[in-house]
Structure 1
Amino acid sequence: MADKVIGGSFVLEDLDCQAIVTPDELTAEQRLIAGTTADFVEGEVLPVDEEIEKLNYELTLKLLKKSGELGLLGADVPEALGGLGLDKVSTTLISERLSKASSFALSVGAHVGIGTLPIVYFGTPEQKKKYLPDLASGRLIAAYCLTEPSSGSDALGAKTTARLSEDGRYYVLNGMKQFITNAGFADIFIVYAKVDGKDFSTFIVERKMEGVSIGPEEKKMGIKGSSTCALILEDVKVPVENLLWEAGKGHLIAFNILNIGRFKLAAGCLGASKDAIEISAKYANARKQFGKPISSFPLIGKKLAEMNVRTYALESMVYRTAGLMDAGLSDIDHGSPEAGVQSAKAIAEYALEYSINKVFGSETLQFVADEGVQIHGGYGFIQEYKIERIYRDSRINRIFEGTNEINRLLIPGTLMRRAMKGELPLIQKVQALQSELLQLVSGQQFEGILEEETHLVSMAKKIFLMTGGAAVQKYQTRLEQEQEALSHLADMMIQIYAMESSLLRTRQRIAKQGEDKTACAIDMTRVFVHEAFERIESLAKETLSAVETGDVLRTQLSVLKKLARRTPVNTVGLKRQIAARVLESEKFVR
C-alpha cells in the first residue's frame, strides 16, 4: 500500500519506485475478483450483447441483478451495509474487466459509481441503511442527475429548484435533468437542485414519488444499449430525510463524486483499449494482402506498438492512482457523523490526479480505437466488426464527467489553488529553480538501464516549473483567462504523470523480476518517456513564446534547450520489437 502523499506533489518531487501501487503483484483475492468479473462478462453478457444494444430494459435489469448477486454492484459499499467493502485496486479491476461489456458496462458504472457513491460517502446512517443494501444487491438501480438543458459543464448554473414546505416535512422539487444514464429503468435518482433558488443541494428522489416522469430515450451516436433519458420533476414532494448531507453542500458532493467518476471512466478506457489491441492484433495476423498477413508490414506493427505503449502508460497511472485512493479513503468511518466531511476531504485530495486520468484515459482509448479501425481497413467501418463499435462508444468519454477541456483547466487551476493555500510548496520550488538553472550542467552521460529516462522525467518537471513560473509572473491573476496557456500546462502535467508512472512501475518490476523478464516494459518505457518529453518541450516552447518576447524569450528558450538536451533513442527499432511481442501474443503485453 502506498503511503499517503499530497495530491499534485508529483510535479515537485521525485519518487522512489517502491512508492507506487502497480497491477503487477495482485493478491489472490484481487485476481479472483478480476476473474469473476471477466467470467461474468464472457458467460452472461457477451452472448446477449446484440439484444442489449437494442435497448432491452428487461434484459439489462436481469443482468444487473445477476451482477449484484456476484457482489459486483456492492464492491464500494461497506460490508456492514450489504456490500463487499473492497479496496480501490479491486474495484478498478472490476471496472476494467467490465468494459468489454460495452453499453452494459456503462449501466453498471453509472449505478455503482456516481449513482451509489453519493450515499456511501455523504448519506446519513439512516439513508445508508435504507438504500445501500438494495443498491448493492441490484434490487434498486441508481442514476445521477446533474446535467440540465442549459447547464452542462456549468453545473452550478442549474435551474432545478427545491422549496421547503410550510410544515417543514418535505422539499418540493421542480425542474428537468437531461442526458441521465439509467433513467429509463432507475429506481433512485441523485438529484441536484437549488433550495430557494440559491443553496445548491442534493436529494435522493425515488421514481415512485408523485410528479416524477421520464422523457423518451435519446438517439445516440454510441453506447446505444444504455438508457439515456430526461428526468422531469413537477412539484415532487421529497421528504426532508432525503436531503443528502446538508443544504448548500451539493457542490461538494457533485464535484467529489465527479472526481471518482473521472477515475472510474479512466479504468473503463483502459479495459476497452486492451480489448481493441487484442481485436486488432488478431485481425492483423489473419488478414492477408499482397500474399502475406498485414501484420508483416512495419506500418501496421508501428500502430500496434504505439497502441500498446500508450495503454501501458495508462495502466501504470490508473493503478498508481488507485493506490492513492486506497491510502486516502482507508481511514474513513462510514458510521461517523463526520463521514461526509472526511470523505469530501479525502476525495478532493487527488482531484488533480483524477482529471489527469480522465483526460489521458479517454484520449488514449480514442487513439487506440481509431488506429484499430485503420488496421481493419474497410472492415473497420462495418458494424459486424466490434472495432467499429469500440470507436463509436469511445467518443463520449471525452465529454462524460466534465469535458476534457474543462478538466484541462481544472488541472493547473487546482495546483495553483493548493499552492496559494500553502498545501504545496509550488512557489518555493519555482524560486529555488531560478538559482539552480544558473548552475545547470549539460552533457551528462547515462549508462544504467532507464537512467536517462529517470533524468528526463526530472528535467520534465523542471521545464514545467520554469514554464509555469513564467506564465504566472506574466499573467498573475489573469492566468485563469489564458486558457491556451493553462491547457498547455495541463498537458505537460498529464505527460509527466504518465511518464513517471510508467518509469516507476518498470523500475519496480526490474528490481523484483530482473531485466530479462521486463524487456518489453523497458522498451515501452523508453519509447513513451522520450516521445512524451519531446511533446513537453514543444508545449513549453509554444507557451514561452506566448508569454515573452525579445531578449527575455531568447534567454528562456536557451535555458529550455539546456533542460531538454537528450540523446534520441531508436524508437523505430524499439517499436518493431514491441509490435513483434503484441503480434505473437495477440493481446496487450506488459
Structure 2
Amino acid sequence: MSPDKAPSGGRFVVDETDPAAVVTPEDLTEEQRMMADAARAFVQGEIKPRDEQLEKLDYKLTVDLMRKAGELGLLGADVPEAYGGLGLDKVSTTLLAETMAEASSFALSVGAHVGIGTLPIVFFGTPEQKAAYLPDLAAGTRIASYCLTEPGSGSDALGARTTARLTPDGTHYLLNGSKIYITNAAFADVFIVYAKVNGDHFTAFIVERGTPGFTIGPEEKKMGIKGSSTCPLFFEDAPVPVSNVLGEVGKGHLIAFNILNIGRFKLGAGCVGTAKEAIALAAGYAAGRKQFGRPIASFPLIGEKLADMNIAAFVTESIVYRTAGLIDERLATADPNAPDAGAQAAKAIAEYALECSIVKVFATEALDLIADEGVQIHGGYGYIQEYKIERIYRDSRINRIFEGTNEINRMLIPGTLMKKALKGDLPLLRKARALQEELLQPMPLPSFDDTLSLETFRLAQAKKTFLAVGGAAVQKLGLRLEQEQEVLVALADIMIGIYAMESALLRVRKLIANSGEARAENAIQMTTVFVQNTLEKIETLAKKTLAALEQGDALQVQLSVLKKLMRAPLVDTITIKRSIAARVKEAGRYVV
C-alpha cells in the first residue's frame, strides 16, 4: 500500500471508519495465540516461581531469565529475521507485551529491552550497527537500555545538557553529563544515549558498558516496580566511536520521539495484561470472601465495581489493538532496505503519534481505576503485600509518568491535530464550517430501533461537539490557544473519549458481523454503558471550556448549541452493569 492510501492519523475526529478495516483481538490468528501461549507458559513456569526473588532485585536472576526468554524468541519479535529476530508485526508484539505483563517488574525489564532499548537500532541503525548489536539483543546475550531523562530535563527532552564533542583526530565523541531514572541500567550492556553535539545538535549514540569515563550510579529506592533496575548514569569524557552515532547528528529528536510513540502504545498493551490480571484477582477474592453470611460478590456495589473494571479493560484493549493495526498498516508503506529506511519508519510512526498518546493516557488511567477498585474489593487484605493486588496498585502509578507524563501527552493530542489541519492533512476547518450550517437547521432525533443505533448517534454527537467547542476555541484564542493549557487538556479529553468510544463501537460491530448479536451481547452492553458515561463527561468538559471562552449572552448562545447537540435518550446503566457483573463473576475473570 502506498503512503497516500494508508489511513492517516487523527482522521477519527472527522471521518467514519469501516469496522472491517479495524484490527481487534478477535482477529488474532492461531499462530499468534500459540505465541502468546508460549509466553504465558514462560511466565508461569519460570517467572512466577521466582517472583519473590525477582522483586528483591536479583540482577543475576533477571539476566539469566532474560537470556532464557531470548532462547525462546520472546526478545526478538521486533528484530528483523536477517538479524536473528522474528520480524513480527506490531499486533503480534502487542500481544506479547500484554501476555508478559503478569511478570510484573520482570515484564518492565523485558519491555524496556525489546522496545525503547532495541527499536532505535532496528529502525535507525546502519547495516553495520544492526549486524553488530541486533543478534545479541534478540538472543538476550546483551541487554539494552534507553537513556533520555536528565536531572534538569524530563518532559522537556530537548533541554538535555549532556554534551558530545568530537576528538581532534575525528574518531570519537567525548560524552559529558548525566542521566537519571534509567531502566535496566545496573545490568544493561548497550545504552541508547542522547547528547548534544557541541552543546547544540541533539543526537543519539550507542554506548557500550565498560566505556572509560562511563559509570552507573546506585539503585533508586522506588514506590513500585521494585524488581526492575533504575539507576543514574554519569559520563566524564566517555569516548564513543563516531561509528556509534545512531541516525544523523542533530536528528536525535526523530529517534527519541518516534521510539517514545511506540513505547506509549506498548505501555498500553502492558496495561491491558495487568488489567485482566487485576480483574481475575478481584473476582476470585469477591467470590471467596464472605460478609454478612454471603460472598461479597453477591452485593450489587461489588458487582458494579467488577463491571466498571471489565468495561475499562474492554475499551483499553480495543484502542490498543486498533492502534497497533494502524501502525502496522503505515509501516507496511516503508521500505526497510531503502537508504532512508529510518526516516521512512520515523514518518510512518509519527503519523499516529496522536493515537499513541491517546493510548498512553487512556490505558494508564484505566489501569489505575482497575487497580484501585481491585484493592477496594479486597478491603484490608488489599493493603497487605501478601496479596498481589497491592503490588499492582503500587506498580501501576509509574505508568502515568514515564513515556511522557499524561499531562504532556494530553497537550500533544490537540496540538498534533491542529498541525495536521493547518498542513491540509485533515479537513478540520471544512467540517467545522459545515457544522455551523447544520446547526442553523432543525435537528430532530432519529429513531433508535437498531442495535447500537443510539451509541452510533452519540458518537456523532461527540465529534460535532469537539468541532463546535474546538472551533470556538480557535476563533476566540487564535495563536494564544497553545498557552491555554486547561482548554487544550479539555479538548484532548474530548478527543480521547471519541477515539475510545469509536474503537469499542467498531470492535463490537465487527464482532456482530462475524459472530452474531448473541455472541456480542456482553460487548454491546459494555459499549452502551461506556458511551453514555463518556458523553456525560464530554458535555461537562464542553461546558467548562465554553465558560472559559465566553461570558453573558454569548455564553448562553453557545450553551444552547451544546444542549441541541447533546440531546439523546438515557439508558438504564445500573441494570446493564448488573448483567455485565454477573458474567464477570461467573467466569471469575475478564470477559468480552
Q: Partners of 1:113 and 1:242 in 2: how far apart?
A: 19
Output one character per residue of 1:307-352: Cα deviation in whole Å (capped at 9) or x when no partner: 0001100011100001001101123333321111101100100000
State whether structure 2 residue 535 is matched by structure 1 residue 527. no
Q: 2:54 aligns with which of 46, 52, 55?
A: 52
Q: 2:287 aligns with which of 260, 285, 288?
A: 285
Q: Partners of 1:333 and 1:84 in 2: how far apart?
A: 17
Output one character per residue of 1:380-419: Cα deviation in whole Å (capped at 9) or x when no partner: 0000000000000000000010000000000000001111
Q: Which residue of 2 aligns with 1:34?
A: 36
Q: Which residue of 2 aligns with 1:133?
A: 135
Query: For residue 491 of structure 2, what is the amino acid of its counterpart?
Result: L
Q: Partners of 2:334 and 2:6 in 1: how far apart?
A: 14
Q: Secondary structure at the match of 1:173?
A: strand
Runs of 4+ aligned structure 1 residues displaced above 2 Å come to 1-4, 331-336
Q: Partners of 2:291 and 2:62 in 1: how far apart?
A: 41
Q: Which residue of 1 aligns with 2:151?
A: 149
State whether structure 2 residue 114 is matched by structure 1 residue 112. yes
Q: Partners of 1:94 and 1:309 in 2: how far apart?
A: 22
Q: Secondary structure at the match of 1:234?
A: strand
Query: For residue 525 of structure 2, what is the amino acid of its counterpart?
Result: D
Within 5 Å, give how 1:45-444 maps onto structure 2. Answer: 45-444=47-446
Report the alpha carbon displacement of residue 429 of structure 1 after superposing the two structures with TM.
1.2
Bigger shift: 428-437 or 305-314? 428-437
Normalising by structure 2, what TM-score?
0.99
Output one character per residue of 1:3-47: Cα deviation in whole Å (capped at 9) or x when no partner: 721100100111121121100121111111111111111111011
Q: 1:579 aligns with which of 576, 581, 588?
A: 581
Q: Partners of 2:47 and 2:422 in 1: how far apart?
A: 49
Q: Partners of 2:434 and 2:190 in 1: how far apart?
A: 53
Q: 1:544 aligns with which of 546, 559, 563?
A: 546
Q: Partners of 2:486 and 2:81 in 1: how far apart?
A: 46
* Contact 1:6–1:349 (8 Å) recurs in 2: yes
Q: Partners of 1:329 and 1:170 in 2: how far apart?
A: 33
Q: Partners of 1:300 and 1:220 in 2: how far apart?
A: 31
* Contact 1:442–1:565 (8 Å) recurs in 2: no
Query: For residue 429 of structure 1, what is the amino acid of its counterpart?
Result: K
Report the alpha carbon displacement of residue 442 of structure 1 after superposing the two structures with TM.
2.5
Aligned-residue RMSD, C-alpha: 1.1
Q: Partners of 1:545 and 1:182 in 2: how far apart?
A: 47
Query: For residue 54 of structure 1, what is the amino acid of its counterpart?
Result: K
Query: For residue 370 of structure 2, what is the amino acid of its counterpart?
Result: V
Query: For residue 329 of structure 2, what is the amino acid of its counterpart?
Result: A
Output one character per residue of 1:465-494: Cα deviation in whole Å (capped at 9) or x when no partner: 100000011110000110000000000000
Q: Which residue of 2 aligns with 1:563?
A: 565
Q: Partners of 1:327 and 1:314 in 2: how far apart?
A: 20
Q: Partners of 1:33 and 1:420 in 2: how far apart?
A: 43
Query: For residue 241 of structure 2, what is the amino acid of its counterpart?
Result: P
Q: Partners of 1:97 and 1:428 in 2: how far apart?
A: 43
Q: Which residue of 2 aligns with 1:501?
A: 503
Q: Partners of 1:370 and 1:588 in 2: how far apart?
A: 16
Report the alpha carbon displacement of residue 440 of structure 1 after superposing the two structures with TM.
4.1
Q: Partners of 1:263 and 1:479 in 2: how far apart?
A: 27
Q: Partners of 2:404 and 2:290 in 1: how far apart?
A: 42
Normalising by structure 1, what TM-score?
0.99
* Contact 1:453–1:526 (8 Å) recurs in 2: yes
Q: Partners of 1:242 and 1:419 in 2: how far apart?
A: 38
Q: Secondary structure at the match of 2:505?
A: helix
Within 5 Å, give how 1:481-496 maps onto structure 2. Answer: 481-496=483-498
Within 5 Å, give how 1:434-513 maps onto structure 2. Answer: 434-513=436-515
Report the alpha carbon displacement of residue 426 of structure 1 after superposing the two structures with TM.
1.1
Q: Partners of 2:247 and 2:337 in 1: how far apart?
A: 13
Q: Partners of 1:29 and 1:325 in 2: how far apart?
A: 20
Q: Partners of 2:178 and 2:387 in 1: how far apart?
A: 38
Q: Partners of 1:370 and 1:427 in 2: how far apart?
A: 41
Q: Partners of 2:238 and 2:179 in 1: how far apart?
A: 14
Query: For residue 10 of structure 1, what is the amino acid of its counterpart?
Result: F
* Contact 1:98–1:268 (8 Å) recurs in 2: yes
Query: For residue 28 of structure 1, what is the amino acid of its counterpart?
Result: E
* Contact 1:120–1:334 (8 Å) recurs in 2: no
* Contact 1:280–1:376 (8 Å) recurs in 2: yes
Query: For residue 480 of structure 1, what is the amino acid of its counterpart?
Result: E
Report the alpha carbon displacement of residue 580 of structure 1 after superposing the two structures with TM.
0.3
Q: Partners of 1:440 and 1:150 in 2: how far apart?
A: 55
Structure 2, unmatched stretches of 5+, are none
Output one character per residue of 1:509-563: Cα deviation in whole Å (capped at 9) or x when no partner: 1111111111101110100011111111111111011111122211111111111
Size of the aligned set, in residue pairs, is 590
Query: For residue 468 of structure 1, what is the amino acid of its counterpart?
Result: G
Q: Which residue of 2 aligns with 1:515?
A: 517
Report the alpha carbon displacement of residue 87 of structure 1 after superposing the two structures with TM.
0.9
Q: Partners of 2:445 and 2:349 in 1: how far apart?
A: 43
Bigger shift: 84-93 or 333-342? 333-342
Q: Secondary structure at the match of 2:520?
A: helix
Q: Secondary structure at the match of 1:230?
A: strand
Bigger shift: 550-559 or 305-314? 550-559
